[in-house]
């Protein structure tokens, strides 16, 4: 089991551990920040409820991370759409995903299309923009981007049927 997944499981419902994790995301050590973002991503794969109170702060962090921190941006590019609960948060995160979709890093662009798909499932007003991004990635993207776009399209289609 990868270390990040094991740490995410150990954190479980421990609010103090979550606060420590968030503090590390804002710390000065780039490597620790990357690893903390990976743990946060693993946590939100199952349930991001403990990170929801930090949605605005983590969105702000994602918006300000330097291009050189592509792995951290990739992880947070999945965390932030998963924990955005209000309409205002989802719209703000969607703007960020649109910017990340133009990033020089392939992994960051992959998280952007997946993140936009997640947002569009919960925010109908974003569906047209999400579908346009998915179609563009399916036409012009790398194999990884096409894969993420297909998965996002499938998720959105399933949501629309409900």
- What are 40-61's pLDDT values in tens digits? 999 999 888 999 999 999 999 9
118-121 own/partner pairs: CB under 8 Å, 24+ apart:
118/78, 118/81, 118/82, 118/152, 118/155, 119/81, 119/84, 119/90, 119/93, 119/94, 120/156, 120/159, 121/155, 121/156, 121/159
**Residue pointed to by tokens 């997944």:** 5
Q: Where are the domains of the chain?
A: 3-161
Contacts of 159 (CB under 8 A, 6+ apart): 120, 121
Position 1 scores a pLDDT of 46
CATH number of 3-161: 1.25.10.10
The first and second tokens of residue 75, run together, are 């992880």
Confidence of residue 6 (pLDDT cuts 50, 70, 90): confident
- What are 57-82's pLDDT values in tens digits? 999 999 999 999 999 999 999 999 99
- What are 88-142's pLDDT values in tens digits? 999 999 999 999 999 999 999 999 999 999 999 999 999 999 999 999 999 999 9
């Amino acid at each position: 089991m990868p270390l990040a997944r094991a740490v995410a499981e150990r954190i479980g419902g421990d609010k103090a551990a979550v606060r420590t994790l968030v503090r590390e995301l804002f710390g000065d050590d780039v490597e620790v920040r990357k690893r903390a973002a990976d743990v946060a991503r693993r946590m939100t794969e199952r349930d991001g409820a403990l990170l929801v109170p930090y949605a605005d702060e983590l969105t702000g962090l994602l918006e300000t991370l330097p291009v050189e921190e592509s792995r951290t941006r990739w992880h947070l590019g999945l965390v932030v759409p998963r924990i955005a609960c209000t309409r205002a948060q989802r719209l703000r995160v969607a703007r960020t995903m649109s910017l990340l979709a133009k990033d020089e890093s392939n992994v960051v662009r992959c998280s952007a299309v997946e993140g936009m798909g997640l947002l569009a499932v919960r925010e109908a007003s974003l569906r047209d923009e999400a579908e346009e991004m998915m179609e563009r990635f399916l036409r012009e993207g790398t194999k990884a981007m096409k894969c993420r776009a297909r998965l996002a399209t499938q998720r959105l289609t399933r949501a629309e049927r409900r």
